[in-house]
Amino acid sequence: MRVGIGYDVHALVEDRPLILGGIEIPYERGLLGHSDADVLTHAIMDALLGALALGDIGKHFPDTDERFRGISSLALLEEVRRLLNEKGYQLGNLDCILVAQRPKLAGFIPAMQEKLAATLKVKLDQISVKATTTEHLGFEGREEGISAQAIVSLVKIEEEQ
Annotated binding site: 8-10, 34-35, 42, 56-58, 61-65, 132-135, 139, 142
How far CA 51 is from CA of 46, 48, 57, 86, 87, in Å, comes to 8, 5, 13, 14, 11
Q: How far is CA 156 from the centre of its chain?
A: 22
CB 131 within 8 A of CB 100: yes
The residues near 112 (Cβ < 8 Å, ≥ 6 apart) are: 20, 21, 22, 23, 40, 129
- Distance from the first to the final alpha carbon of the chain: 11
Peptide bond into 103 cis (omega under 30): yes
What are the binding residues for a divalent metal cation? 8, 10, 42
Phi, psi angles (nearest 5°) of residue 55 = 90, -150
DSSP-derived 3-state class of residue 51: helix
